[in-house]
């Protein structure tokens, strides 16, 4: 989980003041809404806004200007159509367009620098590809290097299974002994040899887990690209207490089932590669819906209902760095027809959109996505129908981070609302935000109104910080190029048909893997999302809430909470 700890795209946080002028108001919000640029980077040429002291509506001496500001935003910042599939609304209207354009400009600036590094590294690697793909080859674009296990233990079954508990933890669930049927059967003798018990006994004991990508079976594939639609069974071994793979079923063609005993012709290794190919697609497109779409719509609802001087909005804006760049740029250069995704993955653009639209009704549920709620619902923590996992890296790291975030947010909320639940309940802008999220914004499973306690507000803001500062980087940014997208075990596509017989598999497996040039292309694409430049800056988790403007504008209690 090292990526989770040190990469976090956090804004330098510029702030805005209300204005009676349409032109200045749009400029101020376009510069500063979602806090993705500094005040000097002005979209319209208007003078940058001055630093303000954040105030609650009831403590603001200029309520008339504050109300006018919100009305102006509601007239110019609209709910536009979703991008990258049918998920949440995207900002529309004059102000929404300006915000998105601003974020795209800033995102592209960093992307150009990182892309040049990746292309430079790719040229060097391509010249020496007959020697090695990774070793010392990507120092400019991926200076942290790939995860050690991906180079030293990449054939390990334990590594394969633990990836489900670390680099893509959102697909796994424990099978309930009575409420969940077995997804498929596995040969009894094989199960006995591997586990010294039966599939039925493992199921009854709550020791079986599933990761299911069978939804990909009917996806259209690009010419000369292939993929399975694997469902994998994992088990908690009663003897070693290790979390291990039991079987992988392809769900396409001959619908073969592989187990760790299928060692001839490297069949089991191929099965893991086929599963990882499905899983890489899942992780990257899942992250469009969770956290991008869900965090954006909650923030958009806040922008339309809160003054720029509201401390809660200021806190959220710190977290939404370049947020409104991703989906429009994704449509334009990543998921467009013939774009970077189609150049590397097995599926065309419309399958990306299909996945987002199909998954968002579930992945876009706000409270269901709280870390503890999610892992418990999937039976991965505190299940009363099976033993605890001995090691769950994603949750072990994530729960500690959530608790640290929660402690700070609680201090912030207590200071902002003077330790009064009544002040929370009487905050008109806060209540308007909650009503907007549950109403016009269409946020599924959001906190119901009225939001009448500090603790409920703490949970909402903690989850916002978790989504944008932690959950995102588990799946994207520097993670794929260092772990879940590392070759040879994680190709973006297969280059030979899924076998119809285990006897037909070629032992070297090279026909299924990308060529030398396509391998360089895959690493180059994933390296372009890495952001090593943030490491020595104040854009990491360490400085999540420590922007100078927040420290200056929120008073002594806020500064103490950051120490």
Instruction: Report DSSP letters for 338-372, one per residue.
Output: TSHHHHHSSS-HHHHHHHHHHHHHHHTBTGGGSHH
Q: pLDDT tens digits, residue range 94-142? A: 999 999 999 999 888 888 888 888 778 878 777 666 456 777 678 887 8
Residues with Cβ within 8 Å of 553's Cβ and at least 6 positions away in sequence, in order, are 15, 51, 52, 53, 54, 311, 314
Q: What pLDDT is attached to residue 175? A: 99
Q: pLDDT tens digits, residue range 376-419? A: 999 999 999 999 999 999 999 999 999 999 999 999 999 999 99
Instruction: Please work out, in degrees rounded to the nearest 5, the angle formed at the alpha carbon of residue 346 by the alpha carbons of 344 and 349.
Output: 85
Q: In this structure, what token pair is assigned to residue 276? A: 């990882």
Give the position of tokens 């990746």.
Answer: 118
Which letter does DSSP use for residue 528 in this model? T
- End-to-end C-alpha distance for the chain, whole angstroms: 25
Q: How many CB atoms lie within 10 A of CB 193?
A: 12
Q: In this structure, what token pair is assigned to residue 48? A: 């940058």
Residue 212 φ then ψ, to 5°: -115, 115
Across-strand partners of 494? 226
Helices (H) and strands (E) in the chain, counts: 24, 7
Max Cα-Cα span within the chain: 79
Q: pLDDT tens digits, residue range 331-383? A: 999 999 999 999 999 999 999 999 999 999 999 999 999 999 999 999 999 99
- Residue 308 · residue 25 · CB < 8 Å: no
Which letter does DSSP use for residue 45 in this model? S
- Label residue 81 exposed, middle or buried (CB < 10 Å: 0-12, 13-18, 19+): exposed
Per-residue pLDDT of the chain (563 residues; tens, 9 = 90+): 332 322 233 333 332 323 332 222 222 222 233 333 332 333 333 333 456 678 999 999 899 999 999 999 999 999 999 999 999 999 999 999 999 999 999 888 888 888 888 778 878 777 666 456 777 678 887 888 888 888 888 999 999 999 999 999 999 999 999 999 999 999 999 999 999 999 999 999 999 999 999 999 999 999 999 999 999 999 999 999 999 999 999 999 999 999 999 999 999 999 999 999 999 999 999 999 999 999 999 999 999 999 999 999 999 988 898 899 999 999 999 999 999 999 999 999 999 999 999 999 999 999 999 999 999 999 999 999 999 999 999 999 999 999 999 999 999 999 999 999 999 999 999 999 999 999 999 999 999 999 999 999 999 999 999 999 899 989 988 899 889 999 999 999 999 999 999 998 888 899 999 999 999 999 999 988 887 777 666 666 566 566 666 655 566 666 666 66
Instruction: Please work out, in degrees rounded to the nearest 5, the angle formed at the alpha carbon of residue 335 by the alpha carbons of 334 and 340.
Output: 45
Which letter does DSSP use for residue 427 in this model? -
Q: What pLDDT is attached to residue 41? A: 32
Q: What pLDDT is attached to residue 471? A: 92
Q: In this structure, what token pair is assigned to residue 447? A: 């906190």
Distance of CA 38 to the CA centre of its chain: 25
Torsion, Cα 414 418 419 424, to 10 degrees, reads: -90
Q: Which residues of 454-484 are buried (b: 16+ CB within 10 A; e: fewer)?
A: bebbbbbbbbbbbbbbbbbbbbbbbbbbbbb
Across-strand partners of 232? 211, 248
Q: What pLDDT is attached to residue 5? A: 29
The span from the CA of 355 to the CA of 552, in Å, is 43
Prior bond of 450 cis (ω within 30°): yes
Residues with Cβ within 8 Å of 17's Cβ and at least 6 positions away in sequence, in order, are 28, 49, 50, 52, 308, 309
The span from the CA of 207 to the CA of 185, in Å, is 15
Helix (H) / strand (E) containing 272: helix 267-287
Q: Tell me, which fold does domain 2-111+283-383+391-477+531-561 have in CATH?
A: Lipoxygenase-1; domain 5 (1.20.245)
The span from the CA of 397 to the CA of 541, in Å, is 13
Which letter does DSSP use for residue 467 in this model? I
Q: In this structure, what token pair is assigned to residue 315? A: 């806190």
């Amino acid at each position: 989980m090292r990526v989770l700890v040190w990469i976090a795209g956090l804004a330098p946080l510029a702030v805005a003041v209300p204005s009676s002028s349409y032109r200045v108001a749009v400029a101020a919000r376009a510069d500063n809404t979602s806090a993705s640029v500094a005040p000097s980077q002005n979209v319209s040429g208007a003078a940058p806004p001055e630093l303000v002291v954040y105030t609650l509506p009831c403590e603001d001496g200029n309520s008339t200007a504050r109300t006018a500001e919100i009305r102006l935003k509601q007239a110019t910042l609209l709910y536009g159509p979703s991008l990258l599939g049918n998920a949440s609304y995207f900002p529309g209207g004059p102000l929404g367009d300006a915000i998105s354009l601003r974020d795209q400009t800033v995102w592209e600036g960093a992307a150009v620098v990182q892309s040049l590094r990746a292309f430079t590294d790719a040229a060097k690697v391509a010249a020496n590809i007959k020697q090695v793909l990774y070793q010392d080859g990507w120092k400019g674009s991926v200076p942290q290097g790939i995860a050690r296990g991906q180079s030293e233990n990449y054939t390990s079954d334990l590594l394969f299974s633990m990836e489900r508990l670390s680099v893509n933890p959102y697909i796994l669930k424990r099978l309930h002994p009575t409420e969940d049927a077995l997804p498929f059967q596995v040969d009894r003798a094989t199960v006995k040899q591997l586990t010294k018990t039966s599939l039925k006994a493992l199921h009854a004991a709550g020791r079986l887990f599933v990761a299911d990508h069978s939804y990909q079976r009917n996806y259209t594939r690009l010419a000369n690209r292939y993929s399975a639609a694997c469902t994998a069974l994992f088990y908690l071994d009663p003897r070693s207490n290790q979390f291990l793979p039991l079987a992988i079923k392809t769900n396409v063609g001959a619908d073969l089932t592989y187990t760790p005993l299928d060692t001839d012709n490297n069949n089991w290794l191929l099965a893991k590669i086929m599963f990882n190919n499905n899983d890489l697609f899942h992780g990257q497109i899942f992250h469009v819906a969770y956290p991008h779409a869900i965090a954006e719509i909650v923030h958009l609802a806040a922008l339309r209902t809160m003054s720029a001087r509201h401390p809660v909005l200021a806190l959220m804006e710190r977290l939404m760095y370049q947020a409104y760049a991703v989906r429009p740029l994704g449509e334009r250069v990543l998921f467009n027809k013939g774009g970077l995704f189609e150049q590397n993955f097995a599926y065309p653009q419309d399958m990306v959109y299909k996945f987002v639209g199909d998954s968002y009704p579930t992945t876009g549920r706000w409270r269901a996505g709280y870390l503890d709620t999610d892992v418990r619902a999937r039976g991965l923590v505190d299940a009363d129908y099976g033993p605890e996992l001995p090691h769950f890296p994603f949750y072990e790291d994530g729960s500690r981070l959530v608790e640290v975030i929660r402690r700070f947010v609680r201090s912030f909320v207590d200071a902002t609302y003077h330790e009064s639940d009544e002040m929370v309940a009487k905050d008109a802008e806060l209540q308007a935000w909650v009503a907007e999220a549950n109403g016009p914004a269409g946020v599924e499973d959001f906190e119901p109104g009225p939001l009448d306690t500090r603790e409920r507000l703490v949970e909402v803001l903690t989850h916002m910080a978790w989504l944008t500062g932690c959950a995102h980087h588990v799946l994207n940014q520097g993670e794929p190029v260092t772990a879940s997208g590392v070759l040879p075990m994680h190709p973006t596509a297969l280059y030979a048909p899924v076998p119809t017989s285990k006897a037909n598999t070629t032992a070297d497996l090279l026909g299924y893997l990308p060529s030398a040039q396509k391998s360089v292309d895959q690493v180059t694409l994933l390296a372009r999302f890495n952001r090593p430049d943030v490491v020595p800056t104040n854009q990491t988790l360490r400085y999540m809430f420590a922007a100078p403007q927040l420290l200056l504008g929120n008073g002594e209690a806020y500064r103490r909470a950051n120490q």
